Structure 1
Amino acid sequence: MFPTLALCGGGLWMGLQFHMKYVIAYGTTAAFARLDNMEMPPTPRCIARIHVYSQMWRYFDVGLYRFLVKYIYKPSFEALSEWFTLPQIIIKLIASFATFVFIFMWHGTIMRVFVWSVLNYLGITLEYFSKAISTTEQYKWFKKNILRTEAMETRFTAMLCVPLLHLSAISNFYLFAGRKIGNYYFQYFLPFVLNFNSVVIFISLYCCCIVSMALQDVPSRTDKKLHVKVNKSEMKCE
């Protein structure tokens, strides 16, 4: 019953609420762990600072990401590199596929988690191929002769990332709200029909990509280990 922009607001609210739930849960347990001098992973970055799948996995649940890289992705990559003679990008995609199979089993073998895992793997695959294309001579020529400046390349990259951010948001709705709500968002928002609402959504997602790219190298408050210097003289009893 909601209009298009209200549905977009509802989707954004689901993402922000999910983020805050993890910040509170992880932040509370991490605070108790630090009392025992344990170094904990940083709390999840705000989803408003993330515009591609790889950053979501790298910066949202950092502990799970480190576990996946150490025990699933790297062993799979090394084993495939040793046993098969394949292009590196293919080996990376197969290792990523094994990782997402584990993610699917880890979060629960139900349909909404399956759809979420498949869409995430699809997004990661599109990123891999995009990065591979950006290293080709054709793209270097396009950057030098058409884009010319770093600022124009940033705008061009942000524009290309809009569909990826769009798909990323919809895939997360399956995880947040279940298959019924996810299917509704998928059917309603994925096919871009040129109208006023789609233009507003495209511009909004484009701005999100620009902001996320600008803040990409800015660490979050908990990304750095805080070093507190205590003056010993202040600790002496009067």
Structure 2
Amino acid sequence: GFALPLMFFVKYFIIYGSVATIAAIDGFEMPAPPKCISRIHSSVYLWRTFDRGLHLWLTNYFYKPIIGSQWNPMRKVFAGFVCFLCIALWHGMDRAVVIWTSLNFFGVSAEIIAKSVQSSNVWITSVQCKLSDTANERLNALIASPFFAIAYVSNIFFLSNWEVGYHFVQQILFTFPTPLLPTLLILYFGWGSDSLKPCESQTVRTKSANGRHKCERLIVTPVLSRSAVN
């Protein structure tokens, strides 16, 4: 199952790379080629970096106009729904495509809501400040692993058909304890790998004027090794 998305990535990389080379000869700058899916752990990051042209088109003509100045989670989820509806219409709206877009919409929406919760004062004071950076990373990986699995399975529906996708769902997601738990364990460690994360976070604890401790979450872009860069 993992080979299907990888083959699709290679196909896209060759097509986009060839077109970008021809465009560069004529002096046009094209969007960057897709990132390898083997080091992408996030549905949002996947849609942002795989088909960059599609992402830019949806962002400029649907996502941002719908959100406007109201950058709240519910408005983002609704804008995402419209974008995935456009994607489903573009790809034909058959059963496999509907399942693929629905699962991806679910994954993206879950990440948007989770990010909103994690940025709230309640989460920061009750969870984030009480855990070390490593423990926070492990907690994030534990929460994200099931959605990571759903994201991969959803692409099998799109790249094959309904029957093959449903077979993978039955054999992976609906079988306990194996192979579901080993799969989630692999995804858990994959999520925590430094080469997979588009950015890192660091908790900085400070003391406010009233003497109470507070912490802030800083986003730090990691320096990737040469092997981790496309």
Distance 1:70 1:183 in 2: 34
Task: Determine if the alignment matches structure 1 residue 164 to structure 2 residue 164.
Answer: no
Distance 1:214 1:102 in 2: 28
Distance 2:94 2:181 in 1: 35
- After TM superposition, list the pairs within 5 Å mapping 1:41-120 onto structure 2: 41-78=31-68, 88-120=72-104
C-alpha deviations, 1:1-49, integer Å up to 9, x for none? xxxxxxxxxx111111111010011111111110001111111100011
Specify the alignment match of 2:205 in structure 1.
none
- After TM superposition, list the pairs within 5 Å mapping 1:169-180 onto structure 2: 169-180=152-163
What residue ranges of structure 2 are gaps of 5+ in the alignment?
200-220
C-alpha deviations, 1:34-80, integer Å up to 9, x for none? 0001111111100011111100100100111011000111112229x
Specify the alignment match of 1:5 in structure 2.
none
RMSD of aligned alpha carbons = 2.0
Task: Determine if the alignment matches structure 1 residue 133 to structure 2 residue 117.
Answer: yes
CA contact (8 A) 1:48 1:208 kept: no
Distance 1:198 1:100 in 2: 28
User: How far is 1:213 from its partner?
Assistant: 4.3
CA contact (8 A) 1:44 1:61 kept: yes
C-alpha deviations, 1:189-230, integer Å up to 9, x for none? 2235124x33321221112111254454467756xxxxxxxx
Are the structure 2 counterparts of residues 143 and 59 from structure 1 closer, same or farther at C-alpha, using a change threshold of 3 Å? Answer: same
Distance 1:48 1:17 in 2: 11
CA contact (8 A) 1:49 1:215 kept: no
Are the structure 2 counterparts of residues 99 and 214 from structure 1 closer, same or farther at C-alpha, using a change threshold of 3 Å? Answer: closer
The amino acid that maps onto 1:144 is C
- Considering fraction of residues, name the structure with more helix: 1
Distance 2:104 2:165 in 1: 14
CA contact (8 A) 2:174 2:180 kept: no
Query: TM-score normalised to the size of structure 1?
Result: 0.79
What residue ranges of structure 1 are gaps of 5+ in the alignment?
1-10, 82-86, 223-238
Specify the alignment match of 1:210 in structure 2.
192
Say which one has the larger Rg.
1
Give the paired residue count: 203
The amino acid that maps onto 2:15 is A
Distance 1:178 1:132 in 2: 34
Specify the alignment match of 2:22 in structure 1.
32
Specify the alignment match of 1:6 in structure 2.
none
Query: TM-score normalised to the size of structure 2?
Result: 0.82
Distance 2:37 2:48 in 1: 12
The higher-RCO structure (CA 8 Å, 6+ apart) is 1
- Considering fraction of residues, name the structure with more strand: 2
Percent identity reads 29
